[in-house]
Structure 1
């Protein structure tokens, strides 16, 4: 029987694993969604991550945690990372639509087959990311990120049941509350993207990254709300580093 592998990817900045507690909480939730008990201890995982950072002498990068349900072994290791350039934050990125759904969107479980198919489409289109569209024509999430939309001063995002509840996504929602911006979880159709005031990607590696194009639809990457979220999210990271 093929082993199910639950995983998390977290970002290290200034030698600190950013939002570690939230990543481990999500990992625990992934176990719960497949009816498995989460027996790992926070302190042990944290110590293992910090030992890795010290032994590798890396203050920046991405760390992956994997746990095989059958094997019952936690592995912690640095993986290759790619962060957007300043130019991409300034001018936004091009994305494509991909009509497909994850088998269990709420759980972070390795699915190489799905990832491979989407990656081929992204590469063929020379895009930064693919925005997934479900069988009913609704936008769900990115292939390796969450998606937010801006419309009439509000922030729209797909219902939690249809997406991976990203750690960065959770921080964005908290920031919106602080800024007094309403967040609505809605089913939004892909063929109405042209009615939006803006869209952005959120995730561990990209942080908050504006989208300037979805297929042939051009969007305003300079939207004030998006720029505010970029600044505020960077501030939250600085606060986290200072507190840890």
Structure 2
């Protein structure tokens, strides 16, 4: 059984989990043109809840939709309010929030015409993305034979549902070979990112991470860069080859889901 909660925010109203349904002719189901976000909520002192950079995640959701020429029929403030409402309805203080905007049924074919854009927000408890043991013991990764999207192949700044077919193939291959995660290279052979996380390496007390381009502009990545610089560390956003992974002092992934 996958993630489940009592209530789903479905296009403006809370509906029971089992009633949150879409039509089999939903355009996004057939062609993959949808955008989504992954957001974490943490329990704070006193039992209250704190959502990690909710406004920035919602801004990226709207940016992703606009890049893909989808017009979400809600403002950023309305989406933020809906996310909080859904958390409260499900009595979750520590959990995961998944807003997804999709193109509903209507015209069938690659061009979606004026099919309506819907927004759904779900929440559920979600532990460590790569497993609780990974946080303490680390993980084993494989360099994937699947290349990350070139900037002329897809809109890499947008968090698009269909983009993740690339990640699924790489992840499935890594798991089948006994690894925990896959590291993907870009079309030029430089280190890009993992299937759902950005990557950093540390060498001689300097942090290095691939520049924006083929990678998703991770919000946790941005936070790590800012925090490291505030603490006096040099952070280099530049291309590097996988050779450097073998001589790095440390390497780690970042992502709101992966933490």
Question: Normalising TM by the smaller chain, what interval?
Answer: 0.7 to 0.9
C-alpha contact (below 8 Å) 2:140/2:181 kept by paired residues: yes
Residues 1:168 and 2:220 are matched in the alignment: yes
What pairs with 1:113-128 in structure 2 (closer than 5 Å)? Answer: 113-128=165-180
C-alpha contact (below 8 Å) 1:134/1:140 kept by paired residues: yes
SS at match of 1:93: coil
Q: In the alignment, what sits opposite 1:191?
A: 243
CA drift at 1:36: 4.9
Q: In the alignment, what sits opposite 2:201?
A: 149
Structure 1 residues 71 and 36, CA, compared in 2 at 3 Å: closer, same or farther?
closer
CA drift at 1:159: 0.9
Partners of 1:167 and 1:74 in 2: CA distance? 21
Q: In the alignment, what sits opposite 1:106?
A: 157
Q: Aligned residues, how many?
A: 207
Partners of 1:120 and 1:88 in 2: CA distance? 18
CA drift at 1:56: 1.1
C-alpha contact (below 8 Å) 1:12/1:59 kept by paired residues: yes
Q: In the alignment, what sits opposite 1:12?
A: 41
Correspondent of 1:77 among 114, 117, 122: 122
CA drift at 1:11: 0.9
CA drift at 1:86: 5.5
Structure 2 runs not aligned, ≥5 long: 1-26, 44-48, 104-114
CA drift at 1:175: 0.3
Structure with a larger share of its residues in helix: 1
CA drift at 1:81: 3.2
Structure 1 runs not aligned, ≥5 long: 208-244
Q: In the alignment, what sits opposite 2:134?
A: 88
Q: Normalising by the residue count of structure 2, what TM-score does the alignment of the two structures yield?
A: 0.72
SS at match of 1:130: strand
Partners of 1:93 and 1:35 in 2: CA distance? 38
C-alpha contact (below 8 Å) 1:138/1:190 kept by paired residues: yes
Residues 1:131 and 2:183 are matched in the alignment: yes
C-alpha contact (below 8 Å) 2:100/2:119 kept by paired residues: yes
C-alpha contact (below 8 Å) 1:3/1:71 kept by paired residues: no
Q: Highest Rg: 1 or 2?
A: 2
Partners of 1:172 and 1:38 in 2: CA distance? 30
Give CA deviations for 1:112-141 in whole Å, capped at 9, x if unaligned: 532331231132133232111123211011
CA drift at 1:34: 3.0
Q: In the alignment, what sits opposite 2:96?
A: 62
Partners of 1:61 and 1:203 in 2: CA distance? 15
Partners of 1:136 and 1:151 in 2: CA distance? 23
Runs of 4+ residues over 6 Å off in structure 1: none
Residues 1:178 and 2:230 are matched in the alignment: yes
Partners of 1:61 and 1:75 in 2: CA distance? 17
What pairs with 1:25-44 in structure 2 (closer than 5 Å)? Answer: 25-36=59-70, 40-44=74-78
Structure 1 residues 152 and 88, CA, compared in 2 at 3 Å: closer, same or farther?
same
SS at match of 1:163: coil
Residues 1:201 and 2:253 are matched in the alignment: yes
